[in-house]
Chains A and B, each alone.
Chain A
Amino acid sequence: MSPQVSLSPEQKEELATIANQIVAGGKGILAADESVGTMGKRLKNIEVENTDENRRAFRQLLFSTEGEMADCIGGIIFFHETLFQSTDDGIPFTQLVKDKGIVVGIKVDKGVVPLSGTDGETVTQGLDGLHERCAQYSKAGAQFAKWRSVLKIGDNCPSPQAIRANAEVLARYASICQQNGLVPIVEPEILPDGAHDLHRCQYVTEKVLSAVFKALNEHNVYLEGTLLKPNMVTPGHCCVTKFTHEEIGMATVTALHRTIPPAVPGICFLSGGQSEEDSSLNLNAVNLCPLSKPWRLTFSFGRALQASALTAWAGKDENIALGQEAFLQRAKINSLSSKGEYIPSGDTSEASNFTLYAQNYIY
């Protein structure tokens, strides 16, 4: 057994610096990396046509939000197409974002494919040519990447096979990213679909995260230069029992406490179909949990940051300011939640409380 040098001290320092910058006090991530198909669903909900131009317009709305946005958002995850788009004035989005001190990220996976012999489980593809793609993305201004693996809870799920396959592929992805100076966000999402309770989700989350970190260890991934994007521990969507935010906070932090080495600088939760408000309240509860939490605990939200903004914009130019205001409000609230300082005032828009759950969610 020999420690081949996989990363030089300079490479390690660069990765660790980027990772810490993204999750620095009070900041989280805007996940704006919806694929074309997924944006289609979003835009359909507000009766807007899914064109290149409309997708660009909405991302422009988000990225050009002024003021405190940059105090709340440490990183933005782009979809491939968006990385090469510009504002109306021809300013590349990457530059617009960087000039605000926000780190540019890029989704690099190529979606899920079935694992034969399992009960509808999947693994994520995208490793082919990933090294070259990462090099290109790095040149184009990206400093972090994201890859989503998906697991689900059921009578036979997640199977050991699905856990192992997804942990393995996440570790390969992470290793390749780091070779190219990109901080890998490792996302092993366990879907909230099902009637299972909070404890079942906690148990499964602990097993999955343990497998993920074993794989990262085996693949010599430099943990100080990674970020984790897990699900919060929540009851299944059809679970009849209700749990409080505190219980969700405690179950979530306990699972992390048992599996995440302190070297990981930050944990950025996905919202996974929770309403905007629930996501914020749960993130807040996580940060108020009395267990020791040696990593930053913040957000990497897609729907939970954008739902109200989409509704307010509704595709109309005259609503851009309204859309930005709605987005900024969620950003500020989540920034507070990431410090355990959010106190709801009851002032949230209707869209905030509307559950964003879509069955068997795939981008």
Chain B
Amino acid sequence: MTHQAPALTPEQKKELNEIALQIISPGKGILAADESVGSMAKRLTQIGVENTEENRRFYRQILMTADDRVKTFIGGVIFFHETLYQATDDGTPFINIIKERNIVAGIKVDKGVVPLAGTNGESTTQGLDGLAERCAQYKKDGADFAKWRCVLKISATTPSALAILENANVLARYASICQQNGIVPIVEPEILPDGEHDLKKCQYVTEKVLGAVYKALSDHHIYLEGTLLKPNMVTPGHSCPTKYSPEEIATATVTALRRTVPPAVPGVTFLSGGQSEEEATINLNAINKCPLPKPWALTFSFGRALQASALNAWGGEKDNMQAAQDVFMKRAEVNSLASLGKYEPSIEPSTEGEGEGEGEGAANQSLYIENHAY
């Protein structure tokens, strides 16, 4: 083994660690608003809205301009490239609004999945070409963290050793490049919920995948204190006939993390992965109430699970903006409580109006999309 050639100076390390800690300050989580153009198409189609740049801008504006309470609940927002350079109706760049509220701006930097030949429909994620230059630019433009999503799936033959190795490696390369450019990498090795497998199987696979991810991060000299992990919660497959309680899901999730995630990682920000809004919140809450010792923050990085009700409430009508914001704020608040283990489903947090009808329905509606790719 050769002598260590330090990848980062003490100052660089300090900056990365401070950014990470700011994002996951107690009670805060991440709004994943980084849906690609294609993904936004699906969202907007569901509410009968045309997928134009303007409609995407308008919709993101709804989220960005929600009132100040959002500061207490949201530590970071993940942008899609286009959105990072968009502004409100009166010309205020979204990124300025975010930063003024001490919310950290993040950027999705991967370029989607591509097939791994010779596997049973598995993939890796591309986006490393020119990543250093892109990160440098994003940092200049105000982003302080990034996100890269890798995807694995469970079946009789998957995830294969190759898929695990390759995705872990590409995540580590991405993380390394980010840190060189002052950007905190969120490492996302998503294991899809598709399938009939039970909770145990998901836990087993999650332990194997995370074990490989952290070995790769170590091999690539990643400064763990300046990263965040965005894993799936450990859940049964979507077609699994057995039902599990939130406590069982929480125990399986926390056990898997305890066996694989070193304490140096400041925070784990779960993806919602097609769980309904309410399910995701209840599970996050159960995770935080799990009695096993948990040396990392355990919070949310939700896309669909923060936005589904808001999208429905908006329905493409300008006049519904306030209603949409109220509903978004409600999800942000309950998830904030859940990240502290303080969410009680029977107690409805106060909102401007009674959103019993539509809001409730959307909150419990499964957001599962088969073989989900952004």
A residues apposed to B, CB below 8 Å: 1-3, 156-160, 163, 199-200, 203-204, 206-207, 210-211, 213-214, 217-218, 223, 254, 257-263, 291-294
Minimum distance in angstroms from B87 CB to a CB of chain A: 41
Closest residue to A162 on the B side, CB-wise? B1
Residues of B within 8 A of A292 (CB): 263, 295
Is the Cβ of A207 less than 8 Å from the Cβ of B211?
A: no
A contact residues around B239 at 8 Å (CB): none
* Shortest 9 CB-CB contacts between residues of A and residues of B: A217-B211, A3-B204, A210-B218, A214-B215, A203-B4, A263-B258, A258-B264, A263-B259, A257-B264
B262 interface hit (Cβ, 8 Å)? yes
Contacting residues, chain A, for B258 (C-beta < 8 A): 261-263
Which residues of chain A are within 8 angstroms of B225 by Cβ–Cβ distance? 258
Contact B259 A3 (CB under 8 A): no
Bound: A206/B260 CA distance, A: 15
- Is B14 an interface residue when CB atoms closer than 8 A count as contact? no
When chains A and B are docked, how far (Å) is the Cα of A213 from the Cα of B218? Answer: 11
Instruction: Tell whether B293 is near chain A: CB-to-CB under 8 Å.
Output: yes
**B255 in contact (CB, < 8 A):** yes
Identify the B interface with A (CB < 8 A): 1, 3-4, 154, 158-160, 200-201, 203-205, 207-208, 211-212, 214-215, 218-219, 224-225, 255, 258-264, 293-295
Please tell me which one of the listed residues B1, B200, B204, B262 contacts residue A260 in the complex, with CB atoms under 8 A apart.
Answer: B262
A-B contact list, 24 entries, CB within 8 Å: A1-B159, A1-B208, A3-B200, A156-B1, A157-B1, A199-B4, A200-B4, A206-B218, A210-B214, A210-B219, A211-B215, A217-B211, A217-B260, A254-B264, A257-B262, A258-B224, A259-B218, A260-B263, A261-B259, A261-B262, A262-B261, A291-B263, A294-B293, A294-B295
Distance of A254 Cα from B263 Cα, bound (Å): 10
CB contacts (< 8 Å) of A199 on chain B: these are 4
> Which of B207, B212, B263 interacts with A294 by CB under 8 Å?
B263
- Partner of A159 from the list B1, B200, B263 (CB cut-off 8 Å) is B1
A contact residues around B295 at 8 Å (CB)? 262, 292, 294
* Contact among A3, A158, A200, A210 with B201 in the assembled complex (CB-CB below 8 Å): A3
Say whether A259 contacts B262, CB under 8 Å: yes
List residues of chain B with CB within 8 A of the CB of A223: 259
In the bound assembly, the distance between CA atoms of A33 and B219 in angstroms comes to 34
A-B pairs with beta carbons under 8 A, tally? 81
Note all chain B residues with C-beta closer than 8 A to A217: 207-208, 211-212, 259-260
Name the residue on B nearest A259 (C-beta): B262
A262 touches B1 (CB 8 A): no
Compute how far the CA of A221 lies from the CA of B13 in the bound complex, rounded to whole angstroms. 33
Residues of A within 8 A of B1 (CB): 156-160, 163, 204, 207
The reply to whether A200 and B262 form a contact with Cβ atoms under 8 Å apart is no
Q: Closest Cβ of chain A: how far from B225's Cβ, in Å? A: 8
Q: Is the CB of A257 within 8 A of B263?
A: yes
Instruction: Write out the residue numbers on chain A whose beta carbons fall within 8 Å of the beta carbon of B200.
Output: 3
Residue of A nearest to B261 (CB): A261
Q: State in angstroms the CA–CA spacing of A254 and B159 once bound together.
A: 32
- In the complex, which residue of chain B has the Cβ closest to the Cβ of A210? B218
Residue in contact with A258 in the complex, picked from B3, B203, B211, B262, CB distance below 8 Å: B262
Contact check, B3 vs A200: say whether CB atoms are below 8 A apart.
yes
Q: Are B204 and A1 in contact (CB under 8 A)?
A: yes
Q: Chain B's nearest CB lies how many Å from the CB of A165?
A: 14
A-chain residues with CB within 8 Å of residue B154 when the two chains form the complex: 1
Complex-state Cα separation, A296 to B184, whole angstroms: 30
- Given contacts A217-B212, A260-B263, 17 further A-B pairs with CB under 8 A are A3-B203, A199-B4, A203-B4, A204-B1, A206-B218, A210-B215, A214-B212, A254-B264, A257-B264, A258-B218, A258-B225, A259-B262, A261-B258, A261-B260, A262-B261, A263-B259, A294-B293
Question: Which partner residue on chain B sits nearest A204 by CB separation?
Answer: B1
C-alpha gap A90/B98 in the complex (Å): 77
Q: Tell me the bound Cα distance from A343 to B212 in angstroms.
A: 42
Residues of B contacting A211 in the complex (Cβ-Cβ under 8 angstroms): 215
CA distance A259 to B214 in the complex (A): 8
Q: Name the residue on A nearest B223 (C-beta).
A: A258
Q: Which chain B residues border A210 with CB–CB below 8 Å?
A: 214-215, 218-219
- Name the distance in Å between A5's Cβ and chain B's nearest Cβ: 9
**What is the bound-complex CA distance between A262 and B265, given in angstroms?**
12
Q: Which of A199, A262, A292 has the most CB of B within 10 A?
A: A262
Chain A residue with Cβ nearest B4: A203
Q: How far is the CA of A2 from the CA of B219 in the complex (A)?
A: 26
Nearest chain A residue, comparing its CB with the CB of B265: A258
Chain A contacts for B211, CB-based, 8 A: 213-214, 217-218
Which residue in chain A gives the minimum CB-CB distance to B157?
A1
How far is A211 from B293 in the complex, measured between Cα atoms in Å? 24
CB distance from B313 to the nearest CB of A (A): 41
Q: Is the CB of B255 within 8 A of A262?
A: no
B163 to chain A, nearest CB (A): 10
Name the residue on A nearest B1 (C-beta): A158
In this complex, the member of B225, B262, B293 whose beta carbon has the largest number of chain A beta carbons within 10 angstroms is: B262
Give the complex CA separation of A204 and B3 in angstroms.
Answer: 9
Q: Considering the chains assembled together, what is the distance between the CA atoms of A261 and B207 in angstroms? A: 11
Task: Report the separation of the CA atoms of residues A199 and B215 in the bound assembly, to the nearest whole angstrom.
Answer: 20
Report chain A residues within 8 Å CB of B205.
Answer: 1
